[in-house]
Structure 1
Amino acid sequence: MSVHHERSRPTDRRVRVQGRPVDSCPALPPETERGSVRRVTVVGEEILSRPCRTVREFGSPELSSLIDDMFLTMHIADGAGLAANQVDVDLRLFVYDCPDDYGIRHVGHIINPVLEPPDPRSRRLVDDLEGCLSVPGAGMTVPRTDHAVAHGFDKEGNAVVIEGTGYFARCLQHETDHLLGHTYLDRLSKRDRKEALRQMAARREDVFAQRVIKAAGLGR
């Protein structure tokens, strides 16, 4: 999921890491210092259109390295969230660094996430602009619920529950969709999907160029 200008990350000290309040978190989380940049897959690639495999083994150096790489790749691409199949890895995992509508920054990862079904009595759909790092340069309005709760595990196999409201709830839903083999384009009408693909065709090379510039600025 991409960050739009009106959704820039908050600069105050209200932060939740792995769902827990902390005093602060650096602008670039520690994972980015250890990570390597990976290529972001683009809509049309087969790995984005099929469900990802459940993670069975936790606590491995390979899993930690993947998460580090995903954090760095997400930040270089100006993302708020990134799923493993967006870096061509067929596993149920995503990372996030995303603000909610209260100005709280949420940073972390979740493995094998499952979203709680929304409560029909309090469910509220919100139409808001949504982008995707795998649909570079495009942004379309997508209806999502304004509250989401994801159950899953951290990289050590500990159970985690991540709750989001507003824009962060949108992020949790967007990234979980990826792991089920869907992009936000699948939620659009035929007309809007065609428009999103038109935007991508017109802007993708500029987006790719900006990623190269940002990576170079970070010495990557």
Structure 2
Amino acid sequence: MPSSCISVEKKKLKNPPLSLHYLGDRVLRQPAKRIAKVDDELRQLIREMLQTMYSKDGIGLAAPQVAVNKQLIVIDCEPDNAANPPLVLINPTIKQVSRDIVVAQEGCLSIPNVYIDVKRPEVVEVAYKDENGRPRTLKAGDLLARCIQHEMDHLNGVLFVDRVENSLTLNEELSKNGFSYQAVKPVA
């Protein structure tokens, strides 16, 4: 895992710097724009996204979830491990996916308390720029692969509920948590 030069304390803040947007909000459905330059302003946004993610007990956060229309993702599959640096992906693109498909439960900070099974490739290879603007490639499996795919969906205006095949369970879970099934846009 490439180390990050962005360091924030992995702790909950009473008032995280950014506000999350939730299922039904139009900003979550817009395709994010590529980032032209990696600078201190972008690194500050990365810090604020990490602080917001840790404050909300997340392991991944995409810029569109905080109403920033940029291809930027932060991930930390080990939020309780201070020694494990977060992963920052700028303008990520998936280069390859494994044929093996796995089903696992997913949740999303933009759809709190809803956890449903989603099918995804088990392994992905992703190309991206790090917080210093350097090109990188990463091959990921398991939870990290799922997290990368989940967050990259956000950059295309897709939410994990759009990938849920069991619409009955989905409708029940969404209603129970105050979300409308009408906000779901199934992907083929």
What TM-score, normalized by structure 2, do the two folds share?
0.82
Alignment partners' CA distance in 1, 2:150 and 2:20 = 16
Alignment partners' CA distance in 2, 1:172 and 1:116 = 12
Alignment partners' CA distance in 2, 1:192 and 1:115 = 29
1:73/1:50 Cα in 2 relative to 1: closer, same or farther (>3 Å)?
same
What is the Cα deviation at residue 18 of structure 1? 4.3
Instruction: Name the structure where helix makes up a greater proportion of residues.
Output: 1
Q: How does 1:1-220 map to 2 (within 5 A)?
A: 16-18=1-3, 30-32=7-9, 37-59=17-39, 61-99=40-78, 107-119=86-98, 123-189=99-165, 190-201=167-178
Q: Which amino acid aligns with 2:146?
A: R
Alignment partners' CA distance in 2, 1:160 and 1:50 = 26
- The 8 Å contact of residues 18 and 160 in structure 1, kept in 2 or not, is answered as no
Q: What is the RMSD of the two structures over their aligned residues, measured on CA atoms?
A: 2.3
- The 8 Å contact of residues 18 and 162 in structure 1, kept in 2 or not, is answered as no
1:166/1:157 Cα in 2 relative to 1: closer, same or farther (>3 Å)?
same
Stretches of structure 1 lacking an aligned partner (at least 5 in a row): 1-15, 20-28, 100-104, 203-220
Alignment partners' CA distance in 2, 1:162 and 1:87 = 25
1:187/1:106 Cα in 2 relative to 1: closer, same or farther (>3 Å)?
farther
Q: Which amino acid aligns with 1:197?
A: L
Q: Which amino acid aligns with 2:169?
A: D
- The 8 Å contact of residues 96 and 106 in structure 1, kept in 2 or not, is answered as no
Alignment partners' CA distance in 2, 1:50 and 1:172 = 18
Alignment partners' CA distance in 1, 2:115 and 2:85 = 22
What is the Cα deviation at residue 107 of structure 1? 2.2
Q: Which amino acid aligns with 2:168?
A: R
Alignment partners' CA distance in 2, 1:148 and 1:140 = 21
- The 8 Å contact of residues 31 and 67 in structure 1, kept in 2 or not, is answered as no
Q: Which amino acid aligns with 1:53?
A: K
Stretches of structure 2 lacking an aligned partner (at least 5 in a row): 79-83, 180-188
Q: What's the % identity of the aligned pairs? A: 31
Alignment partners' CA distance in 2, 1:200 and 1:153 = 36
Alignment partners' CA distance in 2, 1:18 and 1:164 = 15
Alignment partners' CA distance in 2, 1:130 and 1:150 = 20
What is the Cα deviation at residue 106 of structure 1? 6.4
